[in-house]
Amino acid sequence: MAAGTADRAETPRAASRNDAGLPRRLAERLQGEAWFDPFTRGRYATDASIYQITPAGVVLPRSADDIAATLKVAAEHGVPVILRGGGTSQNGQPIGTGLVVDCSRHFNRVLDYDAEAGIVTVEPGVVLERLNARVKADGWFFPVEPSTATRCTIGGMAGNNSCGARSLRYGTMRDNVLAMRALLHDGEPFAFSLTGNDATGVAGSPRAEDLAARMLRLAQDHRDEIEARYPKVQRRVGGYNLDALVTDRPNLAHLLVGSEGTLAATTAVTLKLSRLPAHRVMGVCHFPSFRAAMETTQHIVALDPVAVELVDHNVLVLGADIPLFRTTLADITRGQPNCLLLAEFAGDDLAALKRDLRRLDACMADHGFPGAVVEVIEPARQKPVWEVREACLNIMMSMKGDAKPVSFIEDCAVPLEHLADYTDAVTEVFTKHGTRGTWYAHASVGCLHVRPILDMKRGGDVAKMRAIAEETSELVRRYKGSYSGEHGDGISRSEFVEPLFGATLARAFEAVKDGFDPQNHLNPGKIVRPLRMDDRSLFRFKPDYAVTAPARTALDWSDWGGFGGAVEMCNNNGTCRKLAGGAMCPSYRVTKEEQHLTRGRANSLRLAISGQLGTDAFTSPAMKRTMDLCVSCKACRRECPTGVDMAKMKVEFLHHYHARHGLPLKDRLIGLMPHYAGVAARLAPLLNLRDRYPVLAAASERVAGLSAKRSLPVWRRPWKEVGEPAHPSDVTGDFRDVILFGDTFNRAFERENLEAAERVLVAAGYRLHRVFPAKGRRPLCCGRTWLASGQTDRARAEAKRTLDALLPYVRAGARVVGLEPSCLLTFRDEFLALLPGEEAAVLAERSLLIEELLMRDLSAGRISLPFVHQGGRLAHLHGHCHQKSFGMMGTVEAMLRAVPGLDVRPIESSCCGMAGAFGYGKETVDVSLAMAELSLFPALRGAGPDDLVVADGTSCRHQIHDGLGRDAVHVIRVLDEALVPRH
């Protein structure tokens, strides 16, 4: 068995009386890994539901043989087995008391691909987005595209019978699965596929053939009941798919689809691909009321769109207050609609699709809404519209406090003719129980997502959940719909299988389960013989749940309801598991380990601060190892649907950890850098010898933990402001008054950036005010070097010193402008947590990065900059993580494009990997370089020798120089060199 990270080497703790020899037996049998330490088990105890069940252990298989061995060993010890993909299920499917088998880590290869026929066979751990990236070049895609496509796995999608926004055209997972290979409960292999034309549809032992024959007979025996009781809606994923076996040519694999790992362990899935349409167009339909939209949906669907998705009033109002969505919503909305329906048409003939939009407009007019369609034809406009739609859940789930939108009835589906009455009735149920919900998603198939807002820490709200579930189930039956329309049964809905399908079919489902898994070893408690959905012992927040640590926080978490509230914002949706696009989560993209994931860290913190991992777990070495690879990129702050801010949590954690264990020399040296930078500059010839002599580099690694593989920044004569200190009375209050904040890194190592900034600001007509601290001459500092190691008291003192110096000027109307994103943006982020109150808020509001300042005033026509045409020179732009977190990269790009003749090429990349001091550590240097190799380094290797490489971050520039041997420059250097020479 492979070795793992240090915290996993702890003494295994048995979860039941039968598993004492389980770790040893698995170690003997597996090529992959198995973990039994409390932290790993805790990280796999949850999915995106409200539930938490601690497993006996976690297995990361490398092959089908590993899964077979796991099944056999587990059976010997009487331990259940639960197959898991991305862990994004809404209803508790991939959690349980047995062995959780995570297929996503290693078991994720494409096994066979016929590019001509459009058929592909994959292992269950393959992520959908990665599969589609693989087949796109041949004009194919797998059309079942749920909103979790960036992290959901094919195995999980097959287990839940996933659907996605375009199921109206392409169907559900079941409609696109051709065959499946799997293992029975004891590890025996078999395969199911299409029957008929001399094909039995089964491969394997006589036992598998007998099992298939029994399932076909069972379905035939219940044909009348199946016809009478199965809902006649596309979105029906509850129970088992016995209806798939009463067709003319049944595909036995479809019985496994939607079975949630309760029947067999999938080892390979064969999929039917679809051709990528050449064009897509969208019509944004405006409605004055929610009911009007629901009544009109069926008529829009009659026009044969690919998708019809709802964006309701709550999302429109909340989204308009979010800068990320404000521009898009302004582009696609006219007036003040109550809600929107997004109707998409797709095909190879663009002219025909434009005619479809005209038919849509006519349809809306026929039903009383003339001129209510905004056409979105350009792909570049469609993408952000879909991002708004996909952000509906994000907007809802960002709600702070204990009451959250809870998933348990969110994907009921009803026939379109009943959709308006059904949604009205459910809203009345919410009102009756004193809550509300927000509707969104798949109007096209009558499957609207809704989550009532409840507090799962309160028994009263748990009782409301049960009542709402029962009353909604009754409504679904009344309207002949499906209680599980997309996300499966799991724990939340398995109890409602029998009320929907009736006792006869419920017993037939039990016969299916018993035929495949007579000992009930595979994911027990789901679909048949269910766990109770309101059993609080299964909840993430059990009745005795309480946050006990830390006793006192170092940062202000009042906006989150305390540190515990901030940690609990993670609902396990798994967005941080995406492997492409955006920046989150760079360490996971390298290691693929749940431990090194925003979700994994948040779960570990939650379990630790609530005492579920033992005494002092919060400040334990295992917790430290869990946090070590967080590079504080802040990507989660922006990209996590619920706004989990792991970078800030790491500061809080390190404060308490170092208070207990002491501070390493490396952290002391880095923290004190702003204090000794002036002295170091005078000793530059001596200090810079370190990188010239390997023996000195080795010594620095041994003594201070600074990797000998790395060069260090070169100490130089520092930048100094010219002129006398200003006075607040010098500020006139117009836009020209600025204070150039010189951060430690640019002062000490790259003063030419600050000198360039002075020239550009003066050329633009700004007045520079020189501000110095009230006491002493040491330059002002943001405190970032102390925050990086959790030295919050030192950081707070530095923040107070800087705030006191800048505040009088800011109050007089001056703006503070800086170059280094990690430093300047500390004023807008951590200062508010270190020094909560109006004063820090005033400084935050008036602090800008230099490209923000220039672009804002250029756009307003307040300044002009005379630039020389650059003749088409290429500029490859890499964004600093903190710029991305604050949504600034568009501004950086726009500022560079203001230079005529400069061809700007943004690099889509995650963290560069240097991340301040992270890339210099001897323990983290390899991970740092691996992060750079994900996308940044490959992109720059293709850059020409005369191309510009632009990166605002000091650490980014050093990573590029250290790893590729080429120089990157700050954007201000580009602007300075492009200025028309002054005579």
Residue 772: which pLDDT band, with cuts at 50, 70 and 90? confident
pLDDT in tens, 597-617: 999 999 999 999 999 999 999
Q: Report residue 377 as tokens.
A: 């034809």
pLDDT in tens, 330-359: 899 999 999 999 999 999 999 999 999 999
Q: Please check the confidence at residue 7 and state whether its pLDDT lies above 50.
A: no
Q: How far is CA 666 from CA 557, 622, 646, in A?
A: 28, 20, 22
Q: Please check the confidence at residue 440 and state whether its pLDDT lies above 90.
A: no
- Please give the pLDDT value at position 878: 97
- Backbone phi, then psi, for 614, in 5-degree steps? 100, 170
pLDDT in tens, 212-222: 999 999 999 99
pLDDT in tens, 274-288: 999 999 999 999 999
Q: How far apart are CA 400 and CA 410, in angstroms?
A: 20
- Please give the pLDDT value at position 109: 97
pLDDT in tens, 932-969: 999 999 999 999 999 999 999 999 999 999 999 999 99
Q: How far apart are CA 677 and CA 669, in angstroms?
A: 11
- Please give the pLDDT value at position 267: 98
Q: Which helix (H) or strand (E) holds 26?
A: helix 22-29
Q: Please check the confidence at residue 318 and state whether its pLDDT lies above 80.
A: no
Q: Please check the confidence at residue 144 and state whether its pLDDT lies above 90.
A: yes
Q: How far apart are CA 966 and CA 949, in angstroms?
A: 8
Q: Produce one character per residue of 681-720: b if its CB has 16 or more CB atoms within 10 Å, e if not.
A: beeeeebbebbeeeeebeebbeebbbbbebbbbebbebbe
- Backbone phi, then psi, for 654, in 5-degree steps? -65, -35
Share of residues in the chain with pLDDT > 70 (%): 97
| Least confident segment among 11-15, 546-550, 646-650 | 11-15
Mean pLDDT score of the chain, rounded to an integer? 93
Which residues neighbour 10 within 8 Å (Cβ) at sequence distance 6 or greater? 37, 38, 39, 622
- Please give the pLDDT value at position 733: 85
Locate all alpha helices (DSSP H) within 582-687, ordered by sequence: 586-591, 598-609, 621-627, 635-639, 646-661, 665-671, 673-682, 684-687
Instruction: Tell me the residue type at 938.
Output: P
Q: How far apart are CA 662 and CA 530, in angstroms?
A: 49
Q: Report residue 500 as tokens.
A: 């929907």
Q: Produce one character per residue of 323-345: b if its CB has 16 or more CB atoms within 10 Å, e if not.
A: eebeebbeebbeeebebbbbbbb
- Please give the pLDDT value at position 983: 60
Which residues neighbour 640 within 8 Å (Cβ) at sequence distance 6 or greater? 570, 575, 576, 584, 598
Residue 396: which pLDDT band, with cuts at 50, 70 and 90? low
Over range 421-431, report the average pLDDT: 95
- Please give the pLDDT value at position 6: 36
Cα 237–chain centre separation = 25
Q: Please check the confidence at residue 650 and state whether its pLDDT lies above 50.
A: yes
Which residues neighbour 555 within 8 Å (Cβ) at sequence distance 6 or greater? 563, 648, 651, 652, 655, 792, 830, 833, 834
To which residue do tokens 């001596």 refer? 686
Q: Please check the confidence at residue 2 and state whether its pLDDT lies above 60.
A: no
- Please give the pLDDT value at position 777: 78
- Please give the pLDDT value at position 323: 64
Q: Please check the confidence at residue 664 and state whether its pLDDT lies above 50.
A: yes
Nearest partner of 490 among 184, 54, 95, 59, judged by Cα: 95
Angle separating helix axes 792-811 and 646-661, nearest 10 degrees: 130
Q: How far apart are CA 82 and CA 101, in angstroms?
A: 6
To which residue do tokens 């280094």 refer? 820
Q: Please check the confidence at residue 14 and state whether its pLDDT lies above 60.
A: no
pLDDT in tens, 625-642: 999 999 999 999 888 878
- Please give the pLDDT value at position 263: 98
Q: Are 604 and 626 in contact (CB under 8 A)?
A: yes
